[in-house]
Amino acid sequence: MSLHEPETPDVGETADGTVDYDELAALLGETAIDREEHINAPAFVVRPDEVQEALSVLHEEAGFDYLSNVTAQQYADRYESIYHLKKYDDPTQEVGVVVPVPTDEPVSQSAEAVYRTADWHEREAYDLVGIEYDDHPDLRRILLPETWQGHPLGRDYNPEKPQVVPFRKHENPLQPDTRGEGADADTMFINIGPHHPATHGVLHIKTVLDGEQVADVEPDIGYLHRCEEQMCQQSTYRHQIMPYPDRWDYVSAGILNEWAYARAAEDMADIDVPEYAQVIRTMSAELCRIASHMLALGTFALDVFGDFTAVFQYAFRDREVVQNILEELTGQRLMFNYLRLGGVAWDVPEPREEFFEMIRDFLDGLPEKTKEYHNLITSNEIFQVRCVDTGELPPEVAKQYGATGPVARGSGIDFDLRRDDPYGYYEELDWDVITEEGCDNYSRVLVRLREVEESAKIIEQCVDLLEDWPEEDREIQSNVPRTLKPDADAEVYRGVEAAKGELGIYMRSDGTDKPARFKIRSPCFCNLHTLREMTEGEYIPDLIASLGSLDIVLGEVDR
Amino acid sequence: MLQGAPLPERIIELLPFGSGPLGTAIAAILGAALVGTLMMSMTAVAGPWAKRKVTAAFTDRYAVNRLGPFGLFIIIADAVRLLSKELIVPEGVDRPAWDLAPVVLASSALLGFAVIPMGSGIHLADPEVGLVYVFAIASIASLGLVMAGYASNNKFSMLGGLRAVAQNLAYEIPLVLIAASVVLFSGSLQMSEIVARQAEPLLSLGPVTIPTWYAFVNPFAFVLFVIANLMEVGRNPFDIPEAPTEIVAGYQTEYSSVYFVLIYLGEFLHIFLGGAIIATLFLGGPAGPGPESIGLVWFIVKIWAVYLFTQWARSALPRLRIDQLIEVGWKGMLVLSLANLVMTAVIVGVIA
């Protein structure tokens, strides 16, 4: 399998840059046994033993190099895995691959051989829904404990049944832990986390060390699994789901997450959003991005500097200002719950001048602060020695793992949904997508720092717009029915550019006011998967730095 | 007073026990207790209070301000808190090495102060090989680190212990080499002699006379020594054996309660001992404006200046990686300190 993109124009692409699904169907030939219409893009139905064939055709020949998400679900008569494919060059070109398998024998071929990111996605599908994947290199539970009985998102799962697991079945934490044989036996196994100063939450990294160097790492996630998908499936579209996204990436990226749900649901139910509300959304989302990137910067500095030092506090000081602005706007500091389907909850606070003044004060002070960060962090020679050329993630590998956000852009992948798959008001505004070619920890930090400046540009333009917006035209919400019941069997997958990368939502409606399947594509989940590639052969401090540079939030990884 | 008899001998004269073995012993213990108490109380101020205040000042915060003036009584509160905690002895630790390590750490630093002339007549002993003694005794701390790391039965401690050895090996040698260049100037290993030599005037600018402090005579050696000292005491950017974000707390991961206090104390004493060595070798010891009797004040000011420098570095600099540190040590510092030694030898040989 070649990792290089095909150089000729992709098959199945029309001259104006949209997907020609008939041509794709011809390309797939007999592998595609049917075609489904999803709201975001058509999907081809593929036999469970021809998954790899279909996907590699789409990857190699049609140029779909980005496996955005894998959704698994159970219908009354079958299981289904849906592979959502996109292109890094143009994420509006989408196609789905639907793989139905019978209920009595839920075995489907693994896509891991074509897209490495499928490894974790399929483990999750196996864990939560119960589909087994043939040829999967390591099909184990990923979010739930190894000893869990049943698959909670399956239809026959009985949540009332107690999970009785005898103690002896649990893995013994004190078992002998030298791994390898012969010459490899002098490696040392060490648990970094779940309680460790640098894991940014409850993450457990099973690490094999050869001296000070990392021989192997395996992130063990799921400590913060809170059944977010299931909770959303039990909530109504109109009001009950919106508070949950705040709790995925809970460190100040709330509105970005809310937007992911809002975008998916609005596309599904065909709801328009007034332009005025889009501007407010754009502004508040970018404020969240600044807050989130500040936190990422501060905690990364914490990992590299080694203590709660000046940089950490400065980053938090500046984040605090953003939090205050967001508190003025939404009434909350973390769990904003500000977006509504079809708009936002309320207009900017009165007196408007004072609120805009607050934002402008922050924006005016920002260049000086950014300069300070560059002085203190990025131009510090020790910092450069530590971060340049460590934790390298080449672009081809990043694409294989479905990396997005600053992690992808730090590897030189020019991919940003705000520009490539426009939503909100971004298209009308003047800003740039930041990329760095270094592929290392340093680039990822630099990307975030520079993105803060771009976000500031966006916010400034939004404030200008809002200030001049005619008073009679300030519509904050469109008319949305009190009870939202999208058409039965409508399926949609939509992503937005959250602080950490593409945050996607898949929803399937069964005609009721609650989604039949609600799947979250978490950017942190996919980005964390790259950790192993980044850190093999590096030193322990670089492992910690790489983990910090990924900027994961475990609430979003585990959902 | 500066060149007066060591402190115990003058205590003997004040006491009614005569100058026999008993009198000497009592006087020595009293003198040592005085110096020890002084250093420990400085540590008490530096650890729970000054460190917080200094870091807070660097990071735009207030830090402790609730108990007593400037929050000073937090020292008492913290002492009570730390001492009343449960001493957890993990399963499988290698006793008594595990119990001895904190004692070794704290006492090795404390013993070093025996030969430091602190001014105002406080100078416990003045052996001819004072400088060698102080380096020898300070490097016993490495032994304590290895004991702590190895005996804790914890992999993070183990890594910390190994890092500590690697780091100390890489920095002892440059440190001693730079000190040797000072000895070339002073022509003596005796601490009082080194201090006395620095009292001579270097040049006079009107009313201001600049003394021949070796920091002025050889600033290059001074800078090198300050850096090497930072590595020796293991503060940022060289706090690699502890490295809180990487290996939890390194060799001290498994220590709690009193043992933790001892290790903490040992670390701060080491910073102060480093400061004392720098002051003695490069900053004229207790010398300063005013009468000689306030020499102790100047000495403490110099120690605290070095302490503040370590805190500044801690707040502002990222930590190096262990392999990079070893590289800087063996390829950079060692070469520079050798060059410094040769240069000094040439200068001293030609001029003198």
* DSSP string of A360-414, one letter each residue: HHHHHHHHHHHHHHIIIIIT-HHHHHHHTTSS---HHHHHHTT--HHHHHTTT--
Inform me whether the C-beta atom of residue B225 falls under 8 Å from chain A C-beta atoms: no
Verify whether the Cβ–Cβ distance A313 to B59 is below 8 Å.
yes
**Cβ A438 vs Cβ A410: under 8 Å:** yes
What CA–CA distance (Å, rounded) separates A30 from B110? 83
Q: What is the pLDDT of residue A184?
A: 57
Q: Which residues of B are less than 8 Å from A306 in CB distance? A: 236-237, 239, 243-246, 318-319
**Interface probe with A: pick from B158, B245, B328, most Cβ of A within 10 Å:** B245
From B334's Cα to the closest Cα of chain A, the distance in A is 19
Q: Which residues of B are less than 8 Å from A309 in CB distance? A: 55, 58-59, 236, 314-316
pLDDT > 70? residue A8: no
Q: What is the pLDDT of residue A9?
A: 56
| Secondary structure element (H or E) that encloses residue A122, with its range | helix A118-128
* pLDDT over 90 percentage in chain A: 13
User: Once rounded to an integer, what is the mean pLDDT over residues B312-321?
Assistant: 84
Tell me which residue of B187, B200, B217, B198 sits closest to B280, measured CA to CA.
B198
Q: What is the pLDDT of residue B232?
A: 79
Domain boundaries for CATH 3.30.460.80 within chain A: 21-134
Q: With respect to CATH, is domain A21-134 assigned 3.60.15.10?
A: no
B254-269 per-position pLDDT tens digit: 888 888 888 888 888 8
- At A411, the amino acid letter reads S
How many CB atoms lie under 10 A from the CB of residue B198? 25
Q: What is the pLDDT of chain A when averaged over all its residues?
A: 85
User: Once rounded to an integer, what is the mean pLDDT over residues B63-87?
Assistant: 87
CA angle B43, B45, B48 (to 5 degrees): 95
Local confidence band at B1 (pLDDT 50, 70, 90 cut-offs): very low
**Cβ A229 vs Cβ A518: under 8 Å:** yes
Task: Tell me if B2 is assigned to some domain.
Answer: no
**Cβ A93 vs Cβ A24: under 8 Å:** no
- Rg of chain B taking only CA atoms, in angstroms: 21
Domain region containing B223? 7-351
Q: What is the pLDDT of residue A488?
A: 84
Q: What is the pLDDT of residue B3?
A: 46
Q: What is the pLDDT of residue B194?
A: 83
Mapped to the 3 state alphabet, what secondary structure does chain B carry? CCCCCCHHHHHHHHCCCCCCHHHHHHHHHHHHHHHHHHHHHHHHHHHHHHHHHHHHHHCCCCCCCCCCHHHCCHHHHHHHHHHCCCCCCCCCCCCCHHHHHHHHHHHHHHHHHHHCCCCCCCCCCCCCCHHHHHHHHHCHHHHHHHHHHHHCCCHHHHHHHHHHHHHHHHHHHHHHHHHHHHHHHHCCCCHHHHHHHCCCEEEEECCEEEECCHHHHCHHHHHHHHHHHHHHHCCCCCCCCCCHHHHCCHHHCCCCHHHHHHHHHHHHHHHHHHHHHHHHHHCCCCCCCCCHHHHHHHHHHHHHHHHHHHHHHHHHCCCCCHHHHHHHHHHHHHHHHHHHHHHHHHHHHHHC
* pLDDT over 70 percentage in chain B: 98
Task: Tell me if B71 is assigned to some domain.
Answer: yes
Q: What is the pLDDT of residue A64?
A: 87
Verify whether the Cβ–Cβ distance B317 to A539 is below 8 Å.
no
How many residues does this entry show for chain B?
Answer: 352
What CA–CA distance (Å, rounded) separates A530 from A413? 15
| Secondary structure element (H or E) that encloses residue A45, with its range | strand A42-46
pLDDT > 60? residue A5: no
Strand order in the sheet with A204-210: A188-192, A204-210, A213-220
Q: Which residues of A are less than 8 Å from B328 in CB distance? A: none
Number of domain units in chain B: 1
Tell me which residue of A540, A199, A440 sits closest to B319, measured CA to CA.
A540
pLDDT > 50? residue B135: yes
Task: Tell me if B192 is assigned to some domain.
Answer: yes
Inform me whether the C-beta atom of residue A3 falls under 8 Å from chain B C-beta atoms: no
Inform me whether the C-beta atom of residue B331 falls under 8 Å from chain A C-beta atoms: no
Q: Which residues of A are less than 8 Å from B243 in CB distance? A: 306, 541
Pairing of strands A95-102, A42-46: parallel
B17-51 per-position pLDDT tens digit: 777 778 788 888 888 888 888 888 888 888 788 88
Verify whether the Cβ–Cβ distance A306 to B247 is below 8 Å.
no
User: Once rounded to an integer, what is the mean pLDDT over residues A165-173?
Assistant: 68
Mutual angle of helices B155-186 and B219-233, in 10-degree steps: 160
What CA–CA distance (Å, rounded) separates A55 from A46? 10
Q: Which residues of B are less than 8 Å from A301 in CB distance? A: 318
Least CB–CB distance from A306: residue in B61, B319, B322: B319
Least CB–CB distance from B324: residue in A306, A309, A385: A385
**Cβ B236 vs Cβ B304: under 8 Å:** no
Q: What is the pLDDT of residue A548?
A: 87
From B18's Cα to the closest Cα of chain A, the distance in A is 54
Q: Which residues of B are less than 8 Å from A196 in CB distance? A: 248
Mapped to the 3 state alphabet, what secondary structure does A425-493 carry? CHHHCCCCCCCCCCCCHHHHHHHHHHHHHHHHHHHHHHHHHHHCCCHHHCCCECCCCCCCCCCCCCEEE
Inform me whether the C-beta atom of residue B321 falls under 8 Å from chain A C-beta atoms: yes
* CB within 8 Å of chain B, chain A residues 187-216: 188, 190, 196-198, 212
What CA–CA distance (Å, rounded) separates B282 from B183? 11
A411-436 per-position pLDDT tens digit: 888 888 888 888 888 888 888 888 88
B197-222 per-position pLDDT tens digit: 887 777 777 777 777 788 777 888 88
In Å, what is the CA distance from B147 to each residue of A111, B143, B162, B268, B322? 51, 6, 10, 19, 20
A432-475 per-position pLDDT tens digit: 888 888 888 899 999 999 999 999 999 999 999 888 888 888 88
User: Once rounded to an integer, what is the mean pLDDT over residues B222-236?
Assistant: 83
User: Once rounded to an integer, what is the mean pLDDT over residues A271-275?
Assistant: 88
Give the count of Cβ contacts less than 8 A between chain A and B: 86
Q: Chain B residue with minimal CA distance to A211? A: B159
Q: What is the pLDDT of residue A15?
A: 67
From A531's Cα to the closest Cα of chain B, the distance in A is 16
In Å, what is the CA distance from A438 to each residue of A286, A366, A521? 25, 25, 27
* CB within 8 Å of chain B, chain A residues 379-408: 380, 382-383, 385-386
CATH number assigned to the domain covering A228-558 = 1.10.645.10
3-state secondary structure of A33: strand
From A197's Cα to the closest Cα of chain B, the distance in A is 5
* pLDDT over 70 percentage in chain A: 95
- At B269, the amino acid letter reads L
Tell me which residue of B100, B179, B187 sits closest to B141, measured CA to CA.
B100
User: Once rounded to an integer, what is the mean pLDDT over residues B183-191?
Assistant: 84
Joined together, the tokens standing for residue A483 give 């009870």
Task: Between A5 and A158, name the one with better pLDDT.
Answer: A158
Domain boundaries for CATH 1.10.645.10 within chain A: 228-558
Backbone dihedral region of A38: left (phi > 0), alpha (psi from -120 to 50 degrees) or beta? beta
Least CB–CB distance from B60: residue in A197, A317, A542: A317
Joined together, the tokens standing for residue A441 give 């920890």
User: Once rounded to an integer, what is the mean pLDDT over residues A64-79?
Assistant: 89
Inform me whether the C-beta atom of residue A165 falls under 8 Å from chain B C-beta atoms: no
| pTM (2 d.p.) | 0.84
From A138's Cα to the closest Cα of chain B, the distance in A is 28
Q: Chain A residue with minimal CA distance to B253? A: A196
Q: Which residues of B are less than 8 Å from A317 in CB distance? A: 60
Q: What is the pLDDT of residue A144?
A: 86
Q: Which residues of B are less than 8 Å from A385 in CB distance? A: 320-321, 324
